[in-house]
Each structure stands twice: as C-alpha cells, then as structure tokens.
Amino acid sequence: MEKRFQVYVSGALQALPEERREVLNAVLELDCIATGMGISPPGGEARWGLVERAIDDCDYHLFLLPEREGQDGPDGVRCAEMEYRRALAAEKPSIAFVRRDSGAAPVLPPGPWAPPAALREAVSGRLAVEWSSPKELGLLVSRSLLQLIKSTYATGWVRAEQAATRETTLEILRLRRRIDDLERELAVARTCPPKGSERLAQGEERHILRYTFEAHARSQATLSLWNGSFQASWNEIFAAVATLLVRDAGESGLRAAMDSLVETRNLKFLRKKRKLHDSRLGSFSLNLDDFHTVIIQLRALGLISPAASVGFPAEEGPRWTLTPFGENVMARLRAIPSSAGVKRGGFEASENSGAGNGIPRDAARSDRLNDVRFEPRIVDDGVLDGKSA
C-alpha cells in the first residue's frame, strides 16, 4: 500500500519567496504533502487552533529559522517559535534549517536581526542543518527529509479506496488465523500419522508378498517359471521404495524397486533348494495385486500421496511422492541410528545388531531375515509349456 507523508513547514517564508519555492519543490519531489508554508494566524485562539491541528496531523516537521522579527503571537512569542515548540511537544520528527552567514562560524548568528534568545535555545542541541543560498536550501531539504523518512517511522496517509475497511480488517484477521491453523496442521503432519491409521498394519508387522521368477536350468537348457511367497515388514517395504519418492516416481520405478527387494530377500535362499541349485535365477517380479496392495497401504498410512503426472510418459503410470510424514519416517528408517538407540514400536529405528540399522540393506538384509522363522517358500512350480531357453 502506497503511503504519502504530510510535512508541515514552519518559518517566515512569506518574506522569502525564493526560499519558499525551493522548500515546496523539495517536499513535492519526494511525493509528500506540504502544509503550513508560512501560515501566520492572526486573530486569536481560533486561528491558532487551526495551526495546532495541522501540526498534530502532520508526519514530519521542517523549521526554517526566521532571520528577522516577525508577527508575534500570544505573550509576545513569535508564531514561528510557537509552531516549532508545538511540533516538539507533539513529538513530531523535526529538522531546523539555519541560515549561515558568509565567513561566520557555523552557529546561530548574533546581532540585532537574530532570532530571540528563547528560539535560539530551543533549536540548540537539536537536529539542525545550515544553508547559505536558496538552491542549497532546496537540496538540503530534499536530502534531510528523505533521511528522516527512512530513519523515523510515521503513519502517513493513503487514498480512501486503498484504506482497509472494517470488513477487510476482519477478513485479514480471519485469514491470518487460518494460516496459523494450517501451519500447526502441517507441523503435526510432519511427525504424526493420519487419524485412524493406528488400526492398520505397519512398522515391524509382516505381510505376505507373492512373486514369480525364472529358472534357467544349465544341464537341460530349459526355462521354468516358479511362484513363491515370503514375508516382509512394512518398514522394510517402505524403506525399499522411499528414496525413489524423494523427487516423485512412477509406478514402473516403484515396481522395479519392489522386484529388487524380492530378489534380494529370496535369491540366497532359493539357491539352496535342490531343484534350483543348478539353475540360473532371474526376472523376479512381485505379484501385481500385491504391488497394488502395497501402494494402497502406504497411502493409507500417510506415507505417500499422488503427484502430478504432467510432462511425464504415460507408460510410467501414476506418479507418487512422499508426504511430510513419509519424509520423516524415511529419515528414521534409512539413517544410521546411534548404537545406544532404544527399540520402539511403529515406524522407529531398532537396536538390532547386524547391519547397524532397524531395516537391513543389501546383502545384510537377506542374511539376517533368512535366519528368522519367516522363510521364503515355494508354492508350486511348472514348466512353460515345454518351451526351453
């Protein structure tokens, strides 16, 4: 909102037309509202009240120290001095401009035409700028007023159509409260799962995953398709795909990550089977229905959410990204915990030894999990219609 400042100028400017013009131009060039400009209110209290109101309404005050005795106000006090003292009493930011005599020291000039002692005393010790010519006065007013505006706060004025109405103020306050509420909700979303997710399987709870793989028998040069299943914790499943979701990922990328988890978890175990010890194993693939179940579960747990697919190949399928809560969980699962960590429930790092992490990775993941009672098992087997590799 653009603000304009009202500047009251005191002093006997009517006797100094050139100086008056320079001061007025300097104030207007700064896009300020000039007022005062040599008002001398004869006629008693009513006219002086007009001056007082003008000074009270102004934002800044400029005082051109008079050189000669001017019109007196009540009690013999000059109007210029009364205006200056009124500005000081109202605590208006003020600058006094004192004319410098050629060759004289930079002090208030004494002499028969000097301002009265009371006025000199009022200006002494306050912000004052000396000038010697009208041109110099204009430059000094412009420079000094600009510095005063930057260094001292003032309310200023705005156009009526830009001023905030009561309804606008209430709407701003309502929106401010709404922003505060959303910021609190976001802070909670970064550390807490969604409501109702405590009833869902998560953390170290295990889930059965079905998969297929190909076996190339070296002795018979045949290709067989095998089906199997194994159990993995939801922590392990999420940790396998979380890093891909840092910058969004399509379903094709997530499937590749899940297939890699299947191979890592089962390859060593399957090579020990008598029927497969002479075969080259590959093309591990998670069951499509189980893959969709994993996506739905991770979304229900508040770990992932849909991402924009604009500009990405359609064959990659829907895109997914981590939620703030998912980022927090990923950091706890994939970061290396302290050796003094304590085992907790849900999505927390554990104190298990081995890989040094609650979720083993790479070869350590397969070695550890093959020692527990949830071993992979072969459901059935068969040959691909007699086709050979």
* pLDDT tens profile 145-175: 999 999 998 988 887 777 667 777 888 899 9
Query: Rounded to whole angstroms, how far apart are CA atoms 298 and 315?
Result: 22
Q: Is the pLDDT of residue 122 over 80?
A: no
Lowest mean pLDDT among 106-110, 193-197, 224-228, 302-306: 106-110
Question: When comparing pLDDT for 20 and 74, which is higher?
Answer: 20
Query: Rounded to whole angstroms, how far apart are CA atoms 59 and 61?
Result: 7
Res 271: pLDDT: 85
What residue spans define the domains of the chain?
Answer: 6-162, 166-193, 198-383
**Mean pLDDT confidence for 282-304:** 93
Task: Indicate the angle between helix axes 234-242 and 251-271, nearest 10 degrees.
Answer: 120
CA neighbor of 346 nearest in space, from 195, 205, 243, 231: 205
Res 334: pLDDT: 87
pLDDT tens readout for residues 252-280: 889 999 999 999 999 988 988 888 878 88
Handedness of CA 296, 312, 282, 223 (dihedral sign): positive
pTM: 0.46
What percent of the chain has a predicted confidence (pLDDT) above 70?
A: 71
**Mean pLDDT confidence for 326-343:** 79
pLDDT tens readout for residues 195-214: 888 899 999 999 999 999 99
What percent of the chain has a predicted confidence (pLDDT) above 90?
A: 31
Whether residue 103 contacts residue 71, with contact meaning beta carbons closer than 8 Å, is answered with no
Q: To the nearest whole number, what is the mean pLDDT of the chain?
A: 76
CA neighbor of 324 nearest in space, from 210, 185, 151, 200: 185
Tokens of 184: 């609190």
Q: Is the pLDDT of residue 330 over 50?
A: yes
The one-letter amino acid at 213: F
Res 366: pLDDT: 36
Give the CATH class of 6-162.
Answer: alpha beta
Element (H, E) at 234: helix 234-242
The one-letter amino acid at 366: S
The rounded Cα 83 to chain-centroid distance in angstroms is 47
∠ Cα 265 268 272 (to 5°): 135
Distances (CA, A) of 214 to 24, 60, 118, 227, 274: 92, 87, 106, 9, 16
Whether residue 322 contacts residue 303, with contact meaning beta carbons closer than 8 Å, is answered with yes
Q: Is the pLDDT of residue 179 over 70?
A: yes
Q: How is residue 357 annotated by DSSP? A: S
Res 198: pLDDT: 87
Q: Is 43 exposed, middle or buried (0-12, 13-18, 19+ CB in 10 A)?
A: exposed
Tokens of 285: 């693939």
- Using 50, 70 and 90 to split pLDDT, how confident is the model at 64? confident
Res 21: pLDDT: 86
Query: Rounded to whole angstroms, how far apart are CA atoms 378 and 279?
Result: 15
Lowest mean pLDDT among 13-17, 113-117, 181-185, 364-368: 364-368
Query: Rounded to whole angstroms, how far apart are CA atoms 96 and 75?
Result: 23
Length of the chain: 389
For tokens 């010890």, the residue is: 277
Res 197: pLDDT: 85
